[in-house]
Structure 1
Amino acid sequence: MVILKDFPINETSTLVNARVDWKETPEAHVFKADLPGIKKEEVKVEVEDGRVLQITGERNVEKEDKNDKWHRVERSSGKFTRRFRLPENAKMDQVKAAMENGVLTITVPKEEVAKKPDVKSIEISG
């Protein structure tokens, strides 16, 4: 642990600002994660248990120079994990991810789900 002018910084602190939006379009499930200052090499996108999308990563602590004088430390550092259970219509074998300007975009295409006709059985009497 490093102490900077009465501000303890724990190197394993949670990255609280790994915020993710999830929208569903007619064609896909689209996730957008704000990850400012994180390189794509520091992020991992995985599919677990067939239907769980997992996003993990780490923002490293900035190297400290003995001549530096810190006045404020507000940017968090450490590891983060976000997990989402996807519905049956998600094509988990076709997941795509891209990172641009600190925004991770994950696209999970959807399968066409054939609507089953409503069938009601009628009991025959007699």
Structure 2
Amino acid sequence: MTTVKQHPVLQSRGPQTFSSLLDTFFQDSVNNRRVQGFTPAVDLWETEKSFELELALPGVTKENIAVEFEDGVLRVSGERAFKKENQEQKYHRVENLYGKFRRSFQLPENVDAAAINAQFENGVLHISVPKVEEKVVKHQIFVK
């Protein structure tokens, strides 16, 4: 006996024409893209006085972005919504990624959490995390 693996999308469907199979392929591609979510690109650098981050968030509104800092971790989350304005539109290709995103960054202990600043302009979120004087974690004491 031979078993044949079927694609889950095509399982439980009867014979189809090539045209309807093509339509199904494109529709499933659109739906899968919407569900996957995306991971925004990040640039992270350090200056003498701060840590700086820039996240590329094209198509995201300021209201759909959350920035949190807790226990030394900076978290940026949000959602890029897929706008299908007209139900009669028949997408043939959707290459942009949509959905929820979340990025986390472990920062050193020498940051001023109360002074973190986030600004969103032209699809780019810029976060500035000021440094404070480094805490003395280990100090060698000489015996006299």
Question: Into which bin does the TM-score normalised by the smaller protein fall?
Answer: 0.7 to 0.9
1:30 aligns with 2:52: yes
Q: Is the 8 A contact 2:65 2:76 kept in 1?
A: yes
Residue correspondence of structure 1 range 100-111 to structure 2 within 5 A: 100-111=121-132
Query: Residue in 1 aligned with 2:84?
Result: 63
Matching residue's letter, 1:60? A
Query: Residue in 1 aligned with 2:74?
Result: 53
Question: CA 1:114–1:52 in 2, change beyond 3 Å: closer, same or farther?
Answer: closer
Query: Residue in 2 aligned with 1:44?
Result: 66
Question: CA 1:111–1:87 in 2, change beyond 3 Å: closer, same or farther?
Answer: same
TM (normalized to structure 2)? Answer: 0.71
The alpha carbon displacement at 1:88 in A equals 1.2
Unaligned runs of 5+ in 1: none
Unaligned runs of 5+ in 2: 1-21
The alpha carbon displacement at 1:62 in A equals 1.4
Q: Sequence identity of aligned pairs in percent?
A: 41
12, 33, 39: which one aligns with 2:35: 12
Question: CA 1:83–1:65 in 2, change beyond 3 Å: closer, same or farther?
Answer: same
Over the aligned positions, Cα root-mean-square deviation in angstroms equals 2.4
The alpha carbon displacement at 1:93 in A equals 1.4
TM (normalized to structure 1)? Answer: 0.80
> Secondary structure in 1 aligned to 2:108?
coil
Report which of the two has the higher share of strand. 1
Question: CA 1:73–1:120 in 2, change beyond 3 Å: closer, same or farther?
Answer: same
The alpha carbon displacement at 1:71 in A equals 2.5
Bigger Cα Rg: 2
Matching residue's letter, 2:114? D
Matching residue's letter, 2:94? V
Could you list the structure 1 runs, at least 4 aligned residues long, displaced by more than 6 angstroms after superposition: none
What is the CA deviation profile of residues 5-48 of structure 1, one whole-angstrom value per residue up to 9, with x for unaligned ones? 313214432213x0111111001100100001111111100112
